[in-house]
Structure 1
Amino acid sequence: MRQYPCAGCGATVEFAPGTNALRCPYCGHTTVIERQPDRVVREHDWAEFAALPRKPIALLAANVYVCGGCGAQTESDTVSDRCRFCGAAVVAQVDPVDQVVPEAVLPFTVDRPALRAALGAWAASRWFAPSGLKKVSEAESAKSTYLPHWTYDSRTVSQYQGQRGDHYWDTETYQANGETRTRQVRRTRWRGASGTVASDFDDVLVTGTTKVTREHLDALEPWPLTDAAPFRPDYLAGHETLRYDVEPEQALDAAKALMAVVIEEECRADIGGDEQRVEHVDTTYADLTFKLMLLPVWLACYVYAGRTYNIQVNGRTGEVAGERPYSVPKIAAAVTGGVLLVALVVFLIWRGRQP
């Protein structure tokens, strides 16, 4: 387990979002995180990884934290966290034998003041939300959390079978009011089609945790993945980091599903014509590689009428996604106002037509 005592006052230092340094929240002393030229972000060969013996992540024991500040001992399945008693930053050692070690981390740049501004702008833009929603920007309980994600690279070759549809116009005769008339009708001529398409995929992103709603995480995209740094535990100090609970094999299936959508579009483009039917696609994957990376997300919540609404903020771009309550009085007032406006317009038109 790693701990980060301040060289100035002995308190625990934390990674400061938007910087490349660890900062003491008490005396302000900073320690720059030195770059390591020999440390680069690596992609791991999938075939080699698949041949290794490994325990399912669900069977691994929780990490044991022994706080250097107060001496408390706690257990958690997180990779980094704060001591539950004194708040000191603690980071666990990840055993590469039992689990996949993060290869890259996208450090936080959105600090707490920027978080308040992002939440405030988001709350102000929610139409029909309760007036109290503005308090979401005061979410001091929001946690800066690194979420595990898998990325996959691959070269693919896909053989497809389908049909190509070409539109043409036909003259159709019909009866109307006892008269024989004609009209132009568009029809489609179908013929078989087959071929091969090749695609290159880079950093197909799949979330590695089930503890955060995937729909909300998808809404936080795009992520500036090219800004990711080689993994160092220092970036996690003072922030929570979730351990992945989606196995890499599961994530690969999800990545292939995302690739399949792109491949089908490329098959359609290769078929050409006005319409396409893709009936079968057989894809082979070459140079398949993957890595585990950590992405920064602020997790906040808002309680309204006894219900908790979850909100996520991209810790790099400030993009906000999440749930929101609706104000029944505001909706009712808007509907009533709309009805009155229509009634007023109808009345004015009627008055204008009176002699």
Structure 2
Amino acid sequence: MTEVVEKCSVCQALLDEEDLFCANCGTEAPHRAANDGSATMQTTHNFRCDGCGASMSYDASVQTLRCPFCGGEKLHAERDAKSLAPKYVVPFQIEQSDAVSRLKEWMGSSFWRPGDLATAAIVTKLTAIYIPYWVFSGKTFTYWTADSSQTPWGANASWCPVSGEHRGEHHGLLVGASSSLSPAETHAICPYDLAQAVPTRQVDLENSLFEQFQVQRKYARPLAQQGLEERVRQACAELVPGNARNVHVNVRVEGLSADPVLLPVWIMAYTYQQQTFRFLLNGQTGRCTGTAPTSYKKIAAVTAAVIAAIILFIICAGLISAAGSQ
């Protein structure tokens, strides 16, 4: 189904049904009918986690359920319902055995983590789940200012003010639409190769675990604009001759639009000493992130060793000084 959209009459930014004003420029939106024609699909086998509030559709072949986001078992079934249909789906490329190997490597990757983390952690199931994202595109028109290290001949200053204009067209900016994962988590496992995405009909979502879209497009737009401004700032910094500092950009966005997609993620919630932590792995590239406990015993041991070294240095320095004065 083709999505029917309306755009702002001033800046051409996408308008949602519930928008009273343009999120990009503030222009009042015209009155529209109640239905905007957004594509939906029937989701079945739905459940909600009482622990973290996650709402998702589960694999119909699964006999027992455990929330992949928090490891909780207090789940209750929900009625079949209509939900926003993804336009594309990126299939999994990382197999479960490879994901488990990367998990073990990640658990032992930091000296400050407990040495028995990989063996003592109460591990739930490493779960393959499709996470909803918005993929934004738009055009930017920017006026920028900065300081350049290349100063005119004969100038006494170390920096010279410069300015200019920049135009750009941006695609593939990802903003997470998950209610269970934080924006920092969904950003940390990016990027994805969206060229590998396939139409939704080519993926068996009926027998897959996927989270439903919980973040509306209009609430994702501010994060998208921040992402575009950061992209533009980096692009403008490259235009500054020599080294750059104090790069400031005034960005105008036009034609900001977004498509809903589902992206593959391996997720595991695990418990260590009665605390819950979470591990995330990009199901396409293997990029990972997560939270882990800190070994306070190691911190105490290193601190004691440093203090002992300082005391030993002071004692040795005093003995040398005393011997030299005799």
* Contact 1:45–1:289, Cα closer than 8 Å, also in 2: no
- Output the amino acid matched with 1:313: L
Structure 2 residue aligned with 1:250, among 210, 214, 219?
219
**Offset of 1:221 from its aligned partner?**
2.1
Structure 2 residue aligned with 1:80, among 32, 57, 64?
57
Partner of 2:70: none
Once the two structures are superposed, residues 64-107 of structure 1 have per-residue CA deviations (whole angstroms, 9 ceiling, x without a partner) of 53xxxxxxxx655855303598359x9x9884xxx532011111
Partner of 2:101: 117
CA RMSD of aligned residues (A): 4.2
Q: Distance in 1 between matches of 2:251 and 2:132?
A: 31
Partner of 1:19: none
**Offset of 1:333 from its aligned partner?**
1.8
Gap runs ≥5 in structure 2 = 18-32, 49-53, 66-76
Q: Distance in 1 between matches of 2:144 and 2:286?
A: 44
**Offset of 1:121 from its aligned partner?**
0.6
Once the two structures are superposed, residues 245-281 of structure 1 have per-residue CA deviations (whole angstroms, 9 ceiling, x without a partner) of 1111122222121111222344455565765656662
**Offset of 1:350 from its aligned partner?**
8.3
Residues 163 and 133 of structure 1: is their aligned pair in 2 closer, same or farther, counting only changes over 3 Å? closer
Which structure: greater strand fraction?
1
Once the two structures are superposed, residues 284-338 of structure 1 have per-residue CA deviations (whole angstroms, 9 ceiling, x without a partner) of 414x442111111122122122211111122222322111111111222223334
Partner of 2:293: 325
Query: Secondary structure at the residue paired with 2:84?
Result: coil
Structure 2 residue aligned with 1:50, among 1, 5, 15?
15
Are 1:337 and 2:305 an aligned pair?
A: yes
* Contact 1:78–1:241, Cα closer than 8 Å, also in 2: no
Structure number with larger C-alpha Rg: 1
Mapping of residues 1-355 of structure 1, within 5 Å: 47=7, 50=15, 65=45, 76=48, 78=55, 80-82=57-59, 86-87=63-64, 95=82, 99-135=83-119, 139-158=123-142, 160=143, 162=145, 167=151, 186-188=157-159, 190=161, 193=163, 195-232=164-201, 234-270=203-239, 272=241, 281-286=250-255, 288-341=256-309
* Contact 2:121–2:270, Cα closer than 8 Å, also in 1: no
- Output the amino acid matched with 1:314: N
Partner of 1:12: none
* Contact 1:301–1:308, Cα closer than 8 Å, also in 2: yes
Number of aligned residue pairs: 281
**Offset of 1:162 from its aligned partner?**
4.0
Partner of 1:18: none
Residues 297 and 261 of structure 1: is their aligned pair in 2 closer, same or farther, counting only changes over 3 Å? same
Q: Distance in 2 between matches of 1:83 and 1:169?
A: 73
* Contact 1:110–1:315, Cα closer than 8 Å, also in 2: yes
Identity rate, percent: 19
Once the two structures are superposed, residues 1-42 of structure 1 have per-residue CA deviations (whole angstroms, 9 ceiling, x without a partner) of xxxxxxxxxxxxxxxxxxxxxxxxxxxxxxxxxxxxxx9xx9
Partner of 2:72: none
Once the two structures are superposed, residues 215-263 of structure 1 have per-residue CA deviations (whole angstroms, 9 ceiling, x without a partner) of 2222212222222222137443543211111111122222121111222
Q: Distance in 2 between matches of 1:63 and 1:120?
A: 34
**Offset of 1:136 from its aligned partner?**
7.4
Q: Distance in 2 between matches of 1:333 and 1:170?
A: 56
Q: Distance in 2 between matches of 1:186 and 1:208?
A: 48
Q: Distance in 1 between matches of 2:207 and 2:121?
A: 21
Q: Distance in 2 between matches of 1:118 and 1:108?
A: 15
Alignment TM-score, normalising by the size of structure 2: 0.68
Residues 271 and 248 of structure 1: is their aligned pair in 2 closer, same or farther, counting only changes over 3 Å? same
Once the two structures are superposed, residues 120-144 of structure 1 have per-residue CA deviations (whole angstroms, 9 ceiling, x without a partner) of 1111212121233113787342322
Q: Distance in 1 between matches of 2:190 and 2:92?
A: 15
Residues 152 and 190 of structure 1: is their aligned pair in 2 closer, same or farther, counting only changes over 3 Å? closer
Query: Secondary structure at the residue paired with 1:127?
Result: coil
Alignment TM-score, normalising by the size of structure 1: 0.63
